[in-house]
Structure 1
Amino acid sequence: MAFRALTQTHIYEKQAAQKEKDKSSIQCLECYAKNVYIGTKNAIVQHLILSQSINGDLSPDPCKTREGRTRKLGTSSHIARLRAVPLFNHLLVLWDRSVTALNMFSLESIPGLNKIQQVSLFEVCDSPLAAPTACVQMVTSSSRRKVIQIHIVGVDRWEVVKVVPLLQEPVALAVDGTSVCLATMDRYLLCDSQTGCSEELFPHNHSRQHVIVASVGQGEFLLNGPESLGMFVMKTGICQRPPLQWPQGVLGAAVCFPYILTLQPQMLSVYSMVDQQHKQTVSLSGAKGLLSTPGKQSNTNSSPNPEQIQTLVRHERIEEALLLLEGVQSRDPLDSYQEQQKAISCLAGFAQFFQRGFSEAKKLFIKGELDPREIIRLYPDIEACLTDDFQSRFVQVNKGTDLQVLRQQDKKAFHHHLCFLGDFLRGVRGTQQGLGCIKELDCALLRLYVELGDFESLQQLVASPNECKLDHCVPVLEQNNRFFALGSLFQSHGNQIEAIQTWVQIVDGAHQDSSCSDVYGHIVWTLSQLQDRDAVRTFADWTLQRNQEIFCRHRPDDQIETQDVLALLEKYPLALVLYLEFIIHDLNSEVGTAAATSNVIISIYGNPNSMTSPLCMVCRSVLVIGELWLNSKSCFVPITDRVKSTTLHTEKAILLGRTGEYGEALKVLVHQVRDPEAAEAFCCRASQGQDSQFRQSLLLTLLQIYLSSEALISTAVDLLNNYSRVIAAEKVIQILPDSWSVELISQFLFGSLRETLHQRRMAKLQKMQDSKTKFRLDKGQKCTVCQRDLAEPQFARTLHGELIHSLTSD
């Protein structure tokens, strides 16, 4: 592979006298930030300070590494382990089988932290899950007993909080949170520092020198398993990664995310955690140990740099690149990395795109906040919507020519690329990512939908608010015969006249477009919604000439006056009638429309001199049938006086009836309108919702009007014969002239008597039916009339089933 996972840098060298070389050799290291601590064979702790450049990177120049303080702990034994606790500025040192706490900078002993004696191994974990706030957990193994001890370390104290017994002495251990993984001479174990429970993992046959236990993080450990296998074990005791095959004789192993490092005497090998494959070999001389400090700057390159990720992307090692990127973000989320992280996400997205991993590519492009124009430019023809001043940031990944070839050679594959473009552009449209180039984005979507033949999406785009550039999009729609969408585009940009004119040309056959099955209906609906008087007038004649029945329904409270609509419809009687019926029946049922419909009537009856015009005659025929009967009388107060002074007798009669003057209304219909059928219809309609007595009273009034004129005698007889079952005979006989014979009213009398006899028989049947019904009279039951107790055996029942006293009981 052409990239280097780790870079070897020489940061410090100290020449020692020939006789002191063996004594001053390095036994262990610890790193934190730019601080490096060295533990030597002759019990010396050396503090080094790495130089730091302006941008925060550690300098590789060994001449710029400064020596800090030095502390000699004694004359015998070597420094076995160093661990920094930056929370308290402590440096913990394992020397002479005891743990000592020093200040990280002065290397002076910490008062209150006495030595912990008889320690063979120790490890520190600063996870908040392992210890309370402002404390650090430390695990030690005893050099005398087969136990491990859990310590809580504070700024000036430490104490043992738990002792976990073991069957064998530990030879290596690692800590992650509350989990402790350790190795004895023949097996690996997992222990829980809170509960003290332990679980055996698997046996091994390694010598003490080759036993490896390293923390990977996130509750995972790396162990040197059997058959030279690096085993990844979770704190739950299971393996979630495949084992790593590494060479024999490995002295140490560590994880520098996302790489695994193995140390041999003459080399350092680098493996990927993604595919467990060998990636790099670094030559060493006399290596003795390995220290990794993930998440910290140290003398090793412990986190991947952007160049490594870009190299992986260029070699289309996408999975590794993404894992590296995740490591950069989770382990070193500095502001200085953010722009680089975005660029890397975009590079990985392009690699996925050209491998047709469209779903992952979209996620990466959105994550990297990719300018949508970077994708648009890859597509032939669609890139024409970009302006000349656009400069790509990813010229090196421009494979636009590949899509041109793909378009010619594999249309199905190219179709998938087009679908991805639409999915991505829709995903960023309306977001901050797409707002910077919304015009180019909408133009690209329009071209894309045209090329895909996606009429529905095209119509949704142009009919809703959009930023399509008309000078660019209009020719595209015209060249592809998308005239219905062109009209919608004009409309969404406020050009109503141009929009309707475009649709009119489709209906007239000047343009061909089958994307809409009812363009004429759409024009009518559009006109019905417009408040632009000029636009409505421009196309109203064209619309009505084709179909009067489909004329728009326009509300009288809109900006276009109803009188204007009526004048417009004067030449189209059918449309006029339909419009008036809509005003009466549809709007009348809505709250708040009574006043609006009254204005229609006032506008029609406003000029008495034009009452006989064709327009007014049609209006009268509709309104008399419907509106004057349907609306409440309060709506017609402004027009009552106007109608009374005219020859509009039918309207006058209806208005009189609406004000309760029924007799006067019937006189107008009989003597002025001279329409007996209308008079009878008036009685029936006025009595709707009333009882039978009210209807009989109206008919008797009409009969008296007929009887007052000799010319209406036959009409009176017809009225009696028609309503013999409604008008009572005894009422009629009282008002009939004495000169009338029985023979003249025989048909009425026969019908009336027959109705009376029928009602009596029905009453008897009802009484008989009631007499057969049993009723239970309970003690204390009261009469519903007088509210006294029903104490007598005789009682009666009302038609509603209520029990009352009988007439004889009182």
Structure 2
Amino acid sequence: MSVKAYELVQIIQRFSSPSGEKNVKIECVECSGKYVFIGTSDGHVVKYIVHETTAKSNIGSPFTYQREGQRYFDAKKPVRSIRAASALEKLLVLFDTTLHVLNMNDLEPIGSRLKSVQTFCVNENPKCSDPFLFQICVAPVSKGQVCIYNVTPDDKINLSNTYTLQEPIKCLSADCGIICAALQDKYIILDCDHGQVQDLFPFDKDAFTPYLCKVAKEEFLLSGPDGLGIFVCAAGTSNRPPLQWSYPLTSLTFHHPYILGVSHEIIMVHSIVDQQQKQAIPFLGGQLIGNYDGHIYVCSQTSLNALVPVPWEKQVEALLVDEHVEEALSLLEKVGNSGHLVGQIDPVKKRFKQQAAFIYFSRSELEIALDLFLDAEVDERELISIFPRLMPSATTFLRTVPPLHNIADVNQLFHGNEQRILEAKQFLLHFLQMAHDSRKSSYTVEIDTALLKLYAELGQNKDLESLLESASFSGDVQSCLAWLKDRGLHHARALLLLQKGNRSEALSLWCQMISGELFDSNFKGISFFADVLKAIGDAEVLWQYADLVLDNNEVDGVELFIQNQTAGTPTPTMELDPHTVADYLQRYPKALILYLEYLINEKGIEEEKFHTQLAVQYIDIIAKQKTQDTGSEVDLNENIQRLRRFLEKSNQYRSKFLLSKVRDLGLYQEVAILYGKVGT
């Protein structure tokens, strides 16, 4: 047993017939709104008005009742069944084997009657769009038939269709176009749309009384041999495991999400979710139980009682305490939204869903947990807090009181199982990524702090760097820096420092990585450092670190001084004097050549000094290759060609100054070009 779903409350302690006869029994019950109709063994239909009050009566019941009227048929025969057509204000009464139609208000007979009726049921979901259509399925006496009738607003019972069966029907239930029935010794399913009959399973007609009820669309519960309750759908198959009754049935009904069965000793409450018995209510002499217009009434031969649902909040709370989470959620789905607007979530339901999410999380059923966490809009800190050290160091967060769960932390929860803990961390990472991307949460400091720490711990370095390069990152700096330092992630530390404006500390860290004092495989080297310096756009900082970059790589170093500006990009933040830069780069010949080529070819500067200086650099390279025999013949020829192209193209250099240098190298074609430039 896991939950108290219902309380048994007495309405009529001892029923007495209008005839005054003793030993009159209650045979059947029906309800329409506040009216209750009782059929008796001495041929009466008695109408009561029942009120539920806040004050209890002298028998301790919140119900009061008053007799409103009765209809008498014949004392020798019982009233076997009553069904209300509330929309039509009619009662259908099966007395002996005749089906009568009564006016619900005064119980006077109206319209036609049907004779030779063994039993009947109401199809509450007929395949018809007429809201006033009241359809019944009738089993004739001693005939292997089932007949479909429509009860009309003008008090007629019109035959719609007839289906032939192998045997007469004992009891039946219908939904949409499907009829489930117990014949003399077996259950069958009838598909009215196609006229097909399918046998289900047999039973002993002499030792077994069949019972059945509808539990869902085109799905029925049948009482089976050996105390089994067997679910059957329209296809004749079962989509749920059977349930086991603990006592022999005398009647059954369904009230979502519970199946209610009554015996001579107890009322049994089973969940349709897991088919387990959830509650047993002592009740001697139980004969009849039914879901009447949403009211659950249970009768002995002489008393009428109500099963009053325990408030859904208490049921759900008890189910969650026992971790019957599927049942709790199923019950929540059935509950309304307590007056809240469409799209808003009832705070009570939200809390229950959050509790359910933590239960699924503790079971490592993470996909279900994620859906519930998102649907219930859980405070992200509740989840982060069960992972040690992921919260900011100065957090003031306290878990919800009363608590949503009893998890101390994931290490305790999973008993140190590394695989399950890893899966939990990956789950949290995914959850927080969604929260970070949506930017809907108010707890960005906690979310970003935990994200950084998880990226670092799980080795997701690209994601870590993307997070730190984001302008919206708002994690706790001190705890994040300590976390990164402990894991040797110096490059990420520098990114974080730079993002938070601690430029000098960030650059110092990168310098230590360049020098080899610190090591981090994620650091991309001198080219990255050069890009950072350019992005900073501060000339003082650039000059401070230029030698470091150039000493390591002249090609990367010269990029510090080249302002790459393309269409749509802003104006460069630094304007460096070309003369100063060119003079500074004298110690770095390769960088100097690249810079001069940039000034002349890209910037279009026509100053004689720069053109002459570039030609001299080309000539010096060729001279070095010739005199020191360095480089290959191919390299030498390429450098000569580069000089030749430049001499032919440019008109801004000092030709006479270059002549002697070129002539000494034996570059006669270049000498000829220079003579041509000076006009000699």
Global fold match (TM > 0.5): yes
Q: Does the Cα contact within 8 Å between 2:146 and 2:163 map onto a contact in 1?
A: yes
Is the alpha carbon distance of 1:562 and 1:352 closer, same or farther for their aligned partners in structure 2, counting shifts above 3 Å?
Answer: closer
Please state how far the C-alpha of 1:620 moved relative to its aligned partner.
12
Q: Does the Cα contact within 8 Å between 1:30 and 1:84 map onto a contact in 2?
A: yes
Q: Does the Cα contact within 8 Å between 1:84 and 1:92 map onto a contact in 2?
A: yes
CA distance in 1 between partners of 2:443 and 2:89 (Å): 51
Equivalent residue number for residue 458 of structure 1: 464
Equivalent residue number for residue 125 of structure 1: 123
Matches within 5 A, 1:507-546: 507-509=514-516, 512-529=518-535, 536=542, 539-546=545-552
Is the alpha carbon distance of 1:359 and 1:679 closer, same or farther for their aligned partners in structure 2, counting shifts above 3 Å?
Answer: same
Q: Does the Cα contact within 8 Å between 1:130 and 1:178 map onto a contact in 2?
A: no
Is the alpha carbon distance of 1:489 and 1:188 closer, same or farther for their aligned partners in structure 2, counting shifts above 3 Å?
Answer: same
Q: Does the Cα contact within 8 Å between 1:173 and 1:183 map onto a contact in 2?
A: yes
* Bigger mean CA deviation after superposition, 27-36 or 234-243: 27-36
Equivalent residue number for residue 575 of structure 1: 591
Equivalent residue number for residue 753 of structure 1: none
Equivalent residue number for residue 368 of structure 1: 376
CA distance in 1 between partners of 2:170 and 2:467 (Å): 70
Equivalent residue number for residue 379 of structure 1: 387
Equivalent residue number for residue 44 of structure 1: 45
Equivalent residue number for residue 506 of structure 1: 513
CA distance in 2 between partners of 1:204 and 1:531 (Å): 90
Residue 305 (structure 1) aligned to one of 292, 312, 329: 312
Structure ID, larger Rg: 1
Poorly superposed stretches of 4+, deviation over 6 Å = 294-298, 582-585, 615-630, 679-682
Task: Confirm or deny that 1:259 pairs with 2:266.
Answer: no
Please state how far the C-alpha of 1:100 moved relative to its aligned partner.
4.2
CA distance in 2 between partners of 1:513 and 1:50 (Å): 81
Residue 571 (structure 2) aligned to one of 559, 567, 583: 559
CA distance in 2 between partners of 1:430 and 1:34 (Å): 53
Residue 328 (structure 1) aligned to one of 303, 319, 332: 332
Matched letter for residue 310 of structure 1: E
Is the alpha carbon distance of 1:375 and 1:98 closer, same or farther for their aligned partners in structure 2, counting shifts above 3 Å?
Answer: same
Q: Does the Cα contact within 8 Å between 1:304 and 1:324 map onto a contact in 2?
A: no
CA distance in 2 between partners of 1:32 and 1:575 (Å): 96
CA distance in 2 between partners of 1:620 and 1:220 (Å): 95
Deviations 1:641-686 (A, max 9, x none): xx98x77669xxxxxxxxxxxxxxxxxxxxxxxx97259889xxxx
Please state how far the C-alpha of 1:291 moved relative to its aligned partner.
0.6
Q: Does the Cα contact within 8 Å between 2:144 and 2:169 map onto a contact in 1?
A: yes
Task: Confirm or deny that 1:200 pairs with 2:195.
Answer: no
Matches within 5 A, 1:132-211: 135-143=133-141, 145-156=143-154, 159-207=158-206, 210-211=209-210
Matched letter for residue 52 of structure 2: S
Deviations 1:272-307 (A, max 9, x none): 445544443211122211113596787434688333
CA distance in 1 between partners of 2:46 and 2:577 (Å): 100
Is the alpha carbon distance of 1:208 and 1:391 closer, same or farther for their aligned partners in structure 2, counting shifts above 3 Å?
Answer: same
Is the alpha carbon distance of 1:618 and 1:539 closer, same or farther for their aligned partners in structure 2, counting shifts above 3 Å?
Answer: same
| Partner SS, residue 216 of structure 2 | coil
Please state how far the C-alpha of 1:404 moved relative to its aligned partner.
5.5
Give unpaired runs (5+ residues) of structure 1.
55-59, 586-596, 631-642, 651-674, 683-701, 713-810
CA distance in 2 between partners of 1:108 and 1:648 (Å): 124
CA distance in 2 between partners of 1:240 and 1:208 (Å): 28
Residue 403 (structure 1) aligned to one of 395, 401, 411: 411
Is the alpha carbon distance of 1:567 and 1:516 closer, same or farther for their aligned partners in structure 2, counting shifts above 3 Å?
Answer: farther
Please state how far the C-alpha of 1:484 moved relative to its aligned partner.
1.0
Equivalent residue number for residue 65 of structure 1: 64
Matches within 5 A, 1:711-722: none
Matched letter for residue 383 of structure 2: I
* Bigger mean CA deviation after superposition, 161-170 or 268-277: 268-277
Matched letter for residue 46 of structure 1: K
CA distance in 2 between partners of 1:584 and 1:68 (Å): 110
Please state how far the C-alpha of 1:173 moved relative to its aligned partner.
0.2
Q: Does the Cα contact within 8 Å between 1:527 and 1:536 map onto a contact in 2?
A: yes
Q: Does the Cα contact within 8 Å between 1:180 and 1:190 map onto a contact in 2?
A: yes
Identity of aligned residues (%): 23
Q: Does the Cα contact within 8 Å between 1:127 and 1:136 map onto a contact in 2?
A: no
Is the alpha carbon distance of 1:90 and 1:520 closer, same or farther for their aligned partners in structure 2, counting shifts above 3 Å?
Answer: farther
Equivalent residue number for residue 354 of structure 2: 346
Please state how far the C-alpha of 1:179 moved relative to its aligned partner.
0.4
Equivalent residue number for residue 28 of structure 1: 28
CA distance in 1 between partners of 2:647 and 2:71 (Å): 114
Please state how far the C-alpha of 1:351 moved relative to its aligned partner.
2.7
| Partner SS, residue 139 of structure 1 | strand
CA distance in 1 between partners of 2:271 and 2:225 (Å): 20
Please state how far the C-alpha of 1:149 moved relative to its aligned partner.
1.5
CA distance in 1 between partners of 2:64 and 2:39 (Å): 17
CA distance in 2 between partners of 1:233 and 1:323 (Å): 21
Please state how far the C-alpha of 1:430 moved relative to its aligned partner.
3.1
Q: Does the Cα contact within 8 Å between 1:611 and 1:617 map onto a contact in 2?
A: no
| Partner SS, residue 382 of structure 1 | coil
Deviations 1:417-461 (A, max 9, x none): 4334334333443347x6132221111222334444544443343
Equivalent residue number for residue 626 of structure 2: none
Matched letter for residue 556 of structure 2: I
Matched letter for residue 40 of structure 1: T
Q: Does the Cα contact within 8 Å between 1:100 and 1:109 map onto a contact in 2?
A: no
More strand by share: 2
Please state how far the C-alpha of 1:127 moved relative to its aligned partner.
2.1
Please state how far the C-alpha of 1:34 moved relative to its aligned partner.
5.4
CA distance in 1 between partners of 2:270 and 2:420 (Å): 36
Matched letter for residue 575 of structure 1: A
Is the alpha carbon distance of 1:195 and 1:416 closer, same or farther for their aligned partners in structure 2, counting shifts above 3 Å?
Answer: closer
CA distance in 2 between partners of 1:311 and 1:153 (Å): 44
Q: Does the Cα contact within 8 Å between 1:267 and 1:283 map onto a contact in 2?
A: yes
Please state how far the C-alpha of 1:369 moved relative to its aligned partner.
2.6
Task: Confirm or deny that 1:421 pairs with 2:425.
Answer: no
Equivalent residue number for residue 444 of structure 2: 438
Please state how far the C-alpha of 1:180 moved relative to its aligned partner.
0.2
CA distance in 1 between partners of 2:212 and 2:250 (Å): 11
| Partner SS, residue 361 of structure 2 | helix
More helix by share: 1
| Partner SS, residue 437 of structure 2 | coil
Is the alpha carbon distance of 1:230 and 1:648 closer, same or farther for their aligned partners in structure 2, counting shifts above 3 Å?
Answer: same
* Bigger mean CA deviation after superposition, 68-77 or 179-188: 68-77
Matched letter for residue 309 of structure 1: V
Matched letter for residue 4 of structure 1: K
CA distance in 1 between partners of 2:100 and 2:207 (Å): 24
Is the alpha carbon distance of 1:101 and 1:334 closer, same or farther for their aligned partners in structure 2, counting shifts above 3 Å?
Answer: farther
Please state how far the C-alpha of 1:184 moved relative to its aligned partner.
1.6
Give unpaired runs (5+ residues) of structure 2.
298-305, 621-638, 657-666
CA distance in 2 between partners of 1:394 and 1:403 (Å): 22
Please state how far the C-alpha of 1:541 moved relative to its aligned partner.
4.3
CA distance in 2 between partners of 1:278 and 1:398 (Å): 26
Is the alpha carbon distance of 1:469 and 1:103 closer, same or farther for their aligned partners in structure 2, counting shifts above 3 Å?
Answer: farther
| Partner SS, residue 233 of structure 1 | strand
Is the alpha carbon distance of 1:436 and 1:135 closer, same or farther for their aligned partners in structure 2, counting shifts above 3 Å?
Answer: farther
Matched letter for residue 146 of structure 2: I
Equivalent residue number for residue 636 of structure 2: none
Q: Does the Cα contact within 8 Å between 1:266 and 1:283 map onto a contact in 2?
A: yes
Is the alpha carbon distance of 1:249 and 1:404 closer, same or farther for their aligned partners in structure 2, counting shifts above 3 Å?
Answer: closer
Is the alpha carbon distance of 1:63 and 1:258 closer, same or farther for their aligned partners in structure 2, counting shifts above 3 Å?
Answer: closer
Q: Does the Cα contact within 8 Å between 2:355 and 2:404 map onto a contact in 1?
A: no
Q: Does the Cα contact within 8 Å between 1:477 and 1:485 map onto a contact in 2?
A: yes
Q: Does the Cα contact within 8 Å between 2:171 and 2:183 map onto a contact in 1?
A: yes
Equivalent residue number for residue 594 of structure 1: none
Highest RCO, 1 vs 2 (Cα 8 Å, sep ≥ 6): 2
Matched letter for residue 387 of structure 1: T
